[in-house]
Amino acid sequence: MNPSVFHGNVYYKTLPKNEIIRGFEKFKNIFFKSRKISTENFKVYLNLEILKNSPPDFPVLVGFLIPKKHFKLAVKRNYLKRILKELYRKHKTLLQVPNGYIVNLIFTFSDLAFE
């Protein structure tokens, strides 16, 4: 479990591809099994699973969704995804996950933010 990498005199916090949720089926399963936490601007879907076999390298998987309904241009959607990924990458060490569990998180914008 190494969310950060030390290289020379610099301490890098990374977000490798194996920590990002990919694929329609994985997102769909998380949406149906998760709890939704809403704020004025964001929604977070949280799914806590008990591991049956060996623990992964980093027990948090994260996904980012930007709705095309509110952000028509792909440039804006990609920009917002980059911003969300960067925020998560810098602050992911604050997450405390008990041994034997894996956490799936999906971040998206709330519809309340656009009313």
Q: Is the pLDDT of residue 76 over 80?
A: yes
Closest CA to 46 of 56, 38, 57, 58: 38
Average pLDDT over residues 34-44: 88
Q: Is the pLDDT of residue 97 over 70?
A: yes
* Predicted confidence band of residue 10 (pLDDT cuts 50, 70, 90): very low
Fold of 4-110: Ribosomal Protein S5; domain 2 (3.30.230)
- Give me 12's structure tokens: 């890098």
The reported pLDDT for the residue numbered 7 is 47
3-state secondary structure the chain: CCCEEEECCEEEECCCHHHECCCHHHHHHHHHHCEEEECCCEEEEEEEEECCCCCCCCCEEEEEECCCCCCCCHHHHHHHHHHHHHHHHHHHHHCCCCCCEEEEEEEEECHHHHC
Q: What is the pTM of this model?
A: 0.76
* Predicted confidence band of residue 55 (pLDDT cuts 50, 70, 90): low
